[in-house]
Structure 1
Amino acid sequence: MASSARFDVVAIGNAIVDVLARADDALITAEGLTKGSMRLIDADEATRLYAEMGPAVEMSGGSAANTLAGMAALGRRCGFIGQVASDQLGQVFTHDLTALGVAFDTPPSSDGGPTARCLILVTPDGQRTMNTFLGASQNLGRESLDAELIAAADILYLEGYLWNADASRAAMAEAIAIARAAGRRVAFTLSDTFVVAGHGEDFRRMTAAREIDILFANEAELLELAGEADFETALAKVAADVPLLVATRGEHGAVAVSGGQRSEVAAEPIDTVVDTTGAGDLFAAGFLAGVAEGRPVADCLTMGAVCAREIIAQVGPRAQTDLKAKVAERLG
């Protein structure tokens, strides 16, 4: 049964504007980057790398914000908590998100750096290599939390990237306590293997304490969290401590385990992969929208796969097609 909460999902995440440019493999090699990965950079490196990039397109991004944008496109009620600065990119991010119908009124910061941006190099195979300057987004603190907003959502969705900064980590821990006290569910996305490598002990403690109801991970993140080399072994190990575990595997589809029951879906067919930016974010959007509609786990997986397919067939992480119509075509 669908929830009667005011919001389906309220997310806490990085408020980032993406800067996307086409790049060949030679640039990735010359910069010493690992294709398909994400790294954190400082302001000077952001300026230097931007000068090396080709013509770019700017659009609002951020992992959790992308998920909410997808959910809003699917007709779900969403709210966002994230930190921007009082600058032009901060205004762009705020407008882009609220124009989609997402509730977002975290006051902008007047100090602590400019609004975050992610410089994304997209190679001919559609892989995206992300270089993120966190700027103001990493300064999200407890004072920025809206307890009423968190308590009004059926699910609190947390972005693992924010676990790296002390202030935002403390804010997310408090948000979990607020959601728990209100009888709400907590969903968490691991975000990247480097996040798990740095904070795996925290995440394992949280799952063991049953603080996370829904955990999203890609295959590499799952292996890192479990400390295993085999997918099936890692899946079983982590699922033992998580009420609902969702693991994405790229072209090999996705798996969910809930209460010992396993559901699996193949990747949706696609002619050409244009840009994988936001694939995991939009998968989570489709899945959580299915949860909000009270659908079976198998349907939620299919909704996630459809949304992921739509996003990798275009440039950028915000859908340019009618996600609601695409899901209806697939599931009715």
Structure 2
Amino acid sequence: MGAETTAAFVAVEAPVIVGLQPSALVDHMARVDWSVLHIPGETGGSLPVAIEELEYILSQVKIHLQSSNGQSPLKTIAGGSVANTIRGLASGFGITCGIIGACGNDEQGELFLQNMKYNNVNLSNLIAKKGATAQCVCLVDGTGNRTMRPCLSSAVRLQADDLRGDHFRGSKWLVLRYGIFNLEVIHAAVRIAKQEQVLVSLDLASFEMVRNFRQPLLELLESGNVDLCFANEDEAKEVVRGEGEGHTDPEAALDYLGTRCKWAVVTLGSKGCIAKHGNQVVRVPALGETQVSDATGAGDLFASGFLYGLLKGLSLEDCCKVGACSGGSVIRSLGGEVSQENRHWMYKQMQINGLSVPELGL
């Protein structure tokens, strides 16, 4: 791949959903024992690190895995919240999807390209640039909870002035993930998407991102340009923290988000989710019995199912149910990509709950 060239994958027509991931990213996944592995920072959530810190963490993880009997090896896969969501929509639900972003001309970049292409994601707007592809270390403990340490600062990145109207024209939804490093390109993407009459979906990324950069997020939400917002329970609490006593529960956050976005969803892990659309509020329990192997991608794949439901005109409750089935499928194994076995589990859960299965799942 040469500098500033576009990946050779030409679309016949605009994807129904496009995802903005300014930096293509690969995940280094591993199961770890936190009692013997000591990594700086809090466990849980996502905290950006420099390349030197990422390499140090990887070295410590490799030493840890070599000395731990029965531990899974390090697994490297294409990742990133937006990539997880659109890959889930394309491979699991048959929705035409594309990704807008930049990819490095290195080994990690090639891995990302091949994985997205294999899962039928349109790559015509993924620009190849000379430089490094973003990486993230994802450490999963014995309960399935994950701690992420992404390295984005040294990676190639799509800039705001790289965006054009034809990146969005003809699509129905734009999928975004909040991030302070990408704030300029996010604002540009939202502005152009609205000009092209494309709906905008925003994921709140992590509780640390919301806590540390809350004001720019609130300004984005207050703009009225975000049509759909996804937050997990911890992120939701950070959104409304400081609003006064009694305002830090998920319901208060849902109300806040739901008065600024057409749709708002707060996922509650094993307790299911709550969602709001206009004056309607629903609470949907987690569906299907499943052992949490790795929570990575649970929110991303929930978004895949929920967006699929919206595209199919399902009720708010049924959108949540499809999201629950989809999110439940990815937590059954390591990583943010749904295996064929777990995809069939998802289709079975959809049938049990009276939901129509995509034609490709029949």
Whether these two folds match at TM > 0.5 is yes
Partner of 2:29: 20
* 2:208 aligned counterpart, secondary structure: helix
* 1:108 corresponds to 2:128: yes
Partner of 1:206: 220
Q: Does structure 2 conserve the Cα–Cα contact (< 8 Å) formed by 1:23 and 1:122? A: yes
Partner of 1:299: 318
Partner of 1:133: 151
CA offsets, 1:156-196, max 9 Å, x none? 11111xx322xx32222111111111122111111111221
Worse-matched range after superposition: 283-292 or 235-244: 235-244
CA offsets, 1:299-325, max 9 Å, x none? 110011001111111111100032573
Q: 1:68 aligns with which of 86, 89, 98?
A: 86
Quote the sequence identity (%).
28
CA distance in 1, matches of 2:94, 2:32: 35
Equivalent AA in structure 1 for residue 136 of structure 2? C
Correspondence list, 1:165-314, <5 A: 165=181, 168-227=182-241, 228-314=247-333
- CA shift for structure 1 position 328: 4.3
Q: 2:136 aligns with which of 87, 97, 118?
A: 118
CA distance in 2, matches of 1:148, 1:281: 25
Partner of 1:57: 75
Q: 1:150 aligns with which of 163, 168, 184?
A: 168
- CA shift for structure 1 position 205: 2.1
Rg larger in structure: 2
Worse-matched range after superposition: 17-26 or 142-151: 142-151
Q: Does structure 2 conserve the Cα–Cα contact (< 8 Å) formed by 1:115 and 1:135? A: no
CA offsets, 1:74-101, max 9 Å, x none? 1111111122211111011011012211
* 2:55 aligned counterpart, secondary structure: helix
- CA shift for structure 1 position 152: 2.1
Q: Does structure 1 conserve the Cα–Cα contact (< 8 Å) formed by 2:133 and 2:156? A: no
CA distance in 2, matches of 1:10, 1:215: 16
Q: Does structure 2 conserve the Cα–Cα contact (< 8 Å) formed by 1:82 and 1:137? A: no
Q: 1:80 aligns with which of 99, 117, 138?
A: 99
Cα gap change, 1:241 to 1:314, in 2 (>3 Å): same
Worse-matched range after superposition: 280-289 or 38-47: 38-47
* 2:288 aligned counterpart, secondary structure: coil
* Residue-pair matches, total: 321
* 1:8 corresponds to 2:16: yes
Listed as ranges, the gaps of 5+ residues in structure 1 are none
Partner of 1:322: 343
Listed as ranges, the gaps of 5+ residues in structure 2 are 1-12, 66-72, 242-246, 357-362
- CA shift for structure 1 position 70: 0.5
Equivalent AA in structure 2 for residue 221 of structure 1? E
Partner of 2:5: none
Partner of 2:9: none
CA distance in 1, matches of 2:41, 2:211: 18
* 1:152 aligned counterpart, secondary structure: coil
Q: Does structure 2 conserve the Cα–Cα contact (< 8 Å) formed by 1:270 and 1:313? A: no
Q: 2:46 aligns with which of 38, 41, 47?
A: 38
- CA shift for structure 1 position 218: 0.9
CA distance in 1, matches of 2:350, 2:268: 24
- CA shift for structure 1 position 327: 5.5
Q: CA RMSD in A?
A: 1.8
* 1:164 corresponds to 2:180: yes
